[in-house]
Structure 1
Amino acid sequence: MFDWLKKKIQPAAPQTEPAPEVLGLRLGGGIELDALRLSLLESQVTFEGAASTQIIQAVGRVILDESHQLLRFYTDDDGFVQVLLSGGTTDDCVTEVKLWYFYRTTPVDGSKAWNTLLETELVQPEWDLDGRVFSKAWDNTRPVAMTETTWLQNGSRSDTDQFVMLYERALDNDDAEILMVAGEEKITGNQAEHSLVLATGIDLGPTDLRFVS
């Protein structure tokens, strides 16, 4: 159920806690995607030209509840691999892996526009993305709130509040494309920066992804 995202990552003070790792995925490491799977899906999905080999440039973590968390491995290909963990932080706790690509990030200016986005715009029965219609994937009537902590390669760490809704549409062979619509809030000093982030993604199977050193 939990899926996700792009943010304007702002460097913070260096932290001692290391970035999370799982499935061999780590900050500064590489990943290799199944090129055949990507080529078969390319004509159906929104993102284009996904690189089969990518370098992880940042790692994000979202604590969903006492038993579940998301790890997001942001790459140099304007996307990220998201791993859902249930019951722990080891490889055998992985329950879901998705590949996401950022579609568009739009600044949201002013508190009125931000409140309207959260109250009435993020959650809709459907979302039309340039003629591709995605249907509401969750039953909630309000966006799901979460906070993502992000580690950068320079050792800094930052937090971003996110308000998220998921949509989906069917593809061939029982695949699906997911649309994540998220309002993001980043506090720098005493100033809040808001944005609307759209990303599309697909599920990855065990043979679709491997890490490279």
Structure 2
Amino acid sequence: MFSWFKKKDKTPPPPSSPEILGLRLGGAFELDSLKLRLIEPQLIIEGAAETQLIKAVGEVHLDHQTRLLRFYTDDDGFIQVLIHGSSEADISEVKLYYFYESRPIDTETQWKKILDHDIVQPFWTLEEHRFEKVWDNIKPVAMTEKTWFQDGTISETDQFVMVYDRDCGEGQMESLLIAGEEKFIEQRPERCLAISTGFDLSSTDFKLIG
């Protein structure tokens, strides 16, 4: 009869999303406007916003100590941080990518062809620019990304990836990220080929504002 006095079992809170370099879910940063004006004419991207809000955070474990952290923004892009350890001293690369195109994949035959033949090629051409293959593998790199959203939901997406680079001149490089993405919703796969282009960021190229 006194059961209402019993302590209720508390559900542990969901794990918090990763943070690094001050970048966090719900945060904001500002890009260096002078750098943007100087490099945009050499790149495929156009009209990058100086101020960007972080709407989602993704994490990929590549091996027992190497991770990719991705901070997705309201400007159709994401900052990607490659880290080989647990501290900021272990960061080896920071890039800002922008989504170029997402092509839906409707059939199993299309999906198999993309994985077996389309993602990994000696080079990719985009807007008449030639991007050279970066990695030596002949099959896409398989990875799973866990993503935290501002509304508290968490999802997982399987990705099959290859990276390409091109020299834009004057010391500027541009990267091309090709990813076959697969997510299961109610046991049904949703698939697409995601194409993104990006460039390197240094610690002085952006500042936190939230």
Q: TM-score, normalised by structure 1?
A: 0.91
In the TM superposition, residue 86 of structure 1 has moved relative to its aligned partner by 1.1
Aligned twin of 1:103: 100
Aligned twin of 2:30: 32
1:202 equivalent in alignment to 2:202: no
Q: Rg larger in 1 or in 2?
A: 2
In the TM superposition, residue 177 of structure 1 has moved relative to its aligned partner by 0.3
**SS of structure 1 residue aligned to 2:42:** coil
In the TM superposition, residue 174 of structure 1 has moved relative to its aligned partner by 1.7
Aligned twin of 1:58: 56
Aligned twin of 1:11: none
Structure-2 separation of matches of 1:44 and 1:173: 10
1:185 equivalent in alignment to 2:173: no
**Which residue, 135, 140, 148 being the options, matches 1:138?**
135
AA partner of residue 168 (structure 1): D
Q: Which structure 1 residue ranges, 5 or more long, are not aligned?
A: 1-14
Query: Greater relative contact order: 1 or 2 (C-alpha under 8 angstroms, separation 6 or more)?
Result: 1
AA partner of residue 123 (structure 1): V
AA partner of residue 144 (structure 1): V
Q: Which structure 2 residue ranges, 5 or more long, are not aligned?
A: 1-12
In the TM superposition, residue 135 of structure 1 has moved relative to its aligned partner by 1.0
Q: Percent identity?
A: 51
Structure-2 separation of matches of 1:95 and 1:44: 24
1:152 equivalent in alignment to 2:152: no
Aligned twin of 1:176: 173
Aligned twin of 2:71: 73
Structure-2 separation of matches of 1:189 and 1:207: 44
Q: TM-score, normalised by structure 2?
A: 0.92
Structure-2 separation of matches of 1:27 and 1:132: 34
Aligned twin of 2:121: 124
CA RMSD in angstroms comes to 1.2
Name whichever of 158-167 and 171-180 sits farther off. Answer: 171-180
Aligned twin of 2:21: 23
Structure-2 separation of matches of 1:65 and 1:210: 30
AA partner of residue 172 (structure 1): G
**Which residue, 93, 96, 102 being the options, matches 2:90?**
93
**SS of structure 2 residue aligned to 1:42:** helix
Number of residues paired by the alignment? 199
In the TM superposition, residue 136 of structure 1 has moved relative to its aligned partner by 0.9
Superposed CA deviations along residues 97-140 of structure 1, whole A, max 9, x for unmatched, are 00000000010111000000000111111111121111111111
Structure-2 separation of matches of 1:36 and 1:173: 16
